Amino acid sequence: MGFGCNAAGIVGCRIIDSPRERLIAILTNNFVPCNGRFPTLIAIISMFFLGTLAAQAQSLVSTLILTGVIVLGVAMTFLVSRLLSMTILKGIPSSFTLELPPYRRPQIGKVIVRSVFDRTLFVLGRAMTVAAPAGLVLWLMANIRVGTESILAYCAAFLNPFAHLLGLDGVILLAFILGFPANEIVVPIIIMAYMSTGNIQELGNLTELKALLISNGWTWLTAVCTMLFSLMHWPCSTTCLTIKKETQSLKWTAIAFAVPTVTGMIVCLLVAGTARLFGLAP
């Protein structure tokens, strides 16, 4: 379920009877890329890793690369789950039994009401709780200037040294931070910061976007590390609120935030450091 939405994946963990194993599933759910991250992954693959391949080959290669990214996410889910079960969530594995309930005729009206009010509006309400204030903060940072630069530019410059260690730059890392309400706005924030505009924009095609990214210092390493960090970083706001509701604990919500973030930073640091050690990137 996490491939569609990580918040839905968290709710789906209710089926697990063991509290320990339910927590492990909740803490590692974010390693599965959701619909909000797929457009970023696909766009980067299309711009930086297909080159001059024929149209037929491009489709095959892009599919293989994206599948590899998904498999990496699944592998990290298993690895981190194993580490958690050996450390802070030790216990005896339980057996999994799924009992099928008795079949009953669907009640169409009840299904529609529950799906609209109990699911759709509830999730949208959670998203708006964080999205509206975050949108205001983003607009203020992009439009309030100190001297000749916006606050957004100063924050990106402050983050740049640390981001460089991860194979990113300050703008990319800041875009992920400001994209906390929704992963879909990470790339538009990057465009806004590079173009020094006061509002979120989208370019007409990937060719224009690639030219903009390359002119701002992107290399193959930047693309790889951005994909890795997109795959492994903190959950979005809706997912965090869902984790808090499901666990009834700020502690486990904080751990669910920290586990993929720390993992993503370590992976990006290793990839960027290795590439630079062997002279494959500046």
Instruction: Parse the chain into domains and list their residue ranges.
Output: 6-94+121-277
| Residue 205: per-residue pLDDT | 81
Nearest to 141 by CA among 166, 171, 183, 184: 171
Give pLDDT tens digits for 188-247: 889 888 887 767 666 768 888 999 999 999 999 999 999 999 999 999 988 998 999 999
Residue 5's φ and ψ, nearest 5 degrees, are -155, 130
Angle between helices 170-178 and 121-143 (to 10 degrees): 140
pTM: 0.86
| Residue 139: per-residue pLDDT | 81
Give pLDDT tens digits for 63-81: 899 999 999 999 999 999 9
Is it the case that residue 131 has pLDDT exceeding 70?
no
Are the C-beta atoms of residues 171 and 216 closer than 8 Å to each other?
Answer: yes
Q: Tokens standing for 281? A: 């990137």
Give pLDDT tens digits for 135-171: 778 888 888 888 888 899 999 999 999 999 999 999 9
Are the C-beta atoms of residues 178 and 155 closer than 8 Å to each other?
Answer: no
Is it the case that residue 263 has pLDDT exceeding 70?
yes
Model confidence at 120, pLDDT cuts 50, 70, 90, reads low
- Burial string for 156-187 (b: 16+ CB within 10 Å, else e) reads beebbeebbebbbbbbbbbbbebbbbbbbbbb
Is it the case that residue 113 has pLDDT exceeding 70?
yes
Is it the case that residue 110 has pLDDT exceeding 80?
no
Are the C-beta atoms of residues 49 and 61 closer than 8 Å to each other?
Answer: yes
Are the C-beta atoms of residues 28 and 259 closer than 8 Å to each other?
Answer: yes
Give pLDDT tens digits for 9-63: 998 888 888 889 999 999 999 999 988 899 899 999 989 988 766 667 888 888 8
